[in-house]
Amino acid sequence: MDIVYKNKTVRFRVINPDAPLNTLMTNLRHAVGADGKLIFDFPSIDSTGAPLDYFFGKEDPEVHEVRVLRPKVGKDDQTLADYQVRNGDKVFLVPDPFPG
């Protein structure tokens, strides 16, 4: 799958589509490239100083808007499989400010 954040697209292979989205996001935050540097820069605050959280998003083909893939629905962890995300799909990293 291709993960897009800001102006950068990186291809990842989905090994376990049933892993919780929270686990995948944690792994992505710590993923390093061949150069030994973090693949994506995840600022912890936005330009206004509000803390940021990050979610995966997928484009809705009917309205062409990115819809956030929530990591939990109720008490249930959600996975890529729950949102029908497969290898070859494009997902986006969506920063989400939350009140501090």
Give the tens place of pLDDT for each residue, 9-65: 999 988 899 999 999 999 998 899 899 999 988 888 888 888 888 999 999 989 999
Rounded Cα gap, residues 78 and 70, in angstroms: 7
What pLDDT, in 10s, does the model give residues 72-100? 999 999 999 999 998 889 999 999 887 75
Domain that holds residue 41: 2-97
Reported as type and span, the H/E element at residue 52 is strand 52-60
Using the CB atoms, write b or e for 22-60: b if 16+ within 10 Å: eebbeebeeeeeeeeeebeeeeeeeeeeeeeebbbbbee
Give residue 93's pLDDT. 94
Total structural domains within the chain: 1
Pairing of strands 76-77, 8-11: unpaired
Instruction: Please report, for the domain that includes residue 32, its CATH number.
Output: 3.10.20
